[in-house]
């Protein structure tokens, strides 16, 4: 028994073999980025597209149906120690793959974190 869809959940049906699944529901990506990660969205009711920008305004995710191009574009602005980059995906790219790509946690400001020190026990 599956739980009913609510504004806080997105139903996902996994289809096998995977190549028969198609693109899937874009909400699997856009809802978590907006609600859980604080990405803001642009609203243009006359355009069939979704624009989401990261809280620091350095990343932009665009979902725009384009019969001749990529539907998903993720652009990230250059930073002092990193060049700008982008990734794009076609209409039939499974949303699970795009979600995994966009789910990488943002870099935390400040010095790199060190792994926790191991406790040594003397006997």
What is the Cα–Cα distance from 24 to 75, expressed in whole angstroms?
22
Q: How far is CA 26 from CA 22, 72, 102, 110, in A?
A: 11, 10, 12, 33
C-beta separation of 10 from 1 below 8 A: no
What is the per-residue pLDDT for 75? 92
Radius of gyration (Cα) for the chain, nearest Å? Answer: 18
What is the Cα–Cα distance from 81 to 83, expressed in whole angstroms?
7
For the segment 3-39, what is each residue's pLDDT rounded down to a tens digit?
555 555 555 556 666 666 667 788 888 888 888 888 8
What is the per-residue pLDDT for 32? 85
What is the Cα–Cα distance from 123 to 42, expressed in whole angstroms?
62
CA nearest 22: which of 88, 71, 77?
71
C-beta separation of 28 from 96 below 8 A: yes
C-beta separation of 60 from 75 below 8 A: yes
Residue 84 has pLDDT above 90, yes or no: yes
What is the per-residue pLDDT for 9? 59
Rounded to the nearest integer, the mean pLDDT of the chain is 74
Residue 102 has pLDDT above 90, yes or no: no
For the segment 51-70, what is each residue's pLDDT rounded down to a tens digit?
999 999 999 999 998 877 89
Tokens read off for 19:
């190549």
């Amino acid at each position: 028994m599956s739980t009913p869809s609510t504004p806080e959940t997105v139903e996902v049906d996994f289809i096998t073999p995977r190549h028969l699944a198609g693109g899937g529901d874009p909400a699997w990506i856009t809802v978590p980025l907006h609600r859980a990660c604080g990405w803001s969205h642009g609203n243009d009711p006359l355009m069939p597209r979704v624009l989401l920008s990261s809280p620091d305004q350095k990343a932009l995710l665009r979902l725009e149906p384009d019969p001749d191009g990529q539907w998903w574009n993720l652009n990230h602005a250059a930073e002092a120690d990193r060049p700008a980059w982008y990734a794009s995906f076609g209409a039939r790219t499974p949303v699970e793959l795009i979600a995994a790509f966009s789910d990488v946690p943002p870099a935390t400001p400040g010095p790199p974190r060190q792994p926790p020190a191991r406790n040594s026990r003397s006997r």
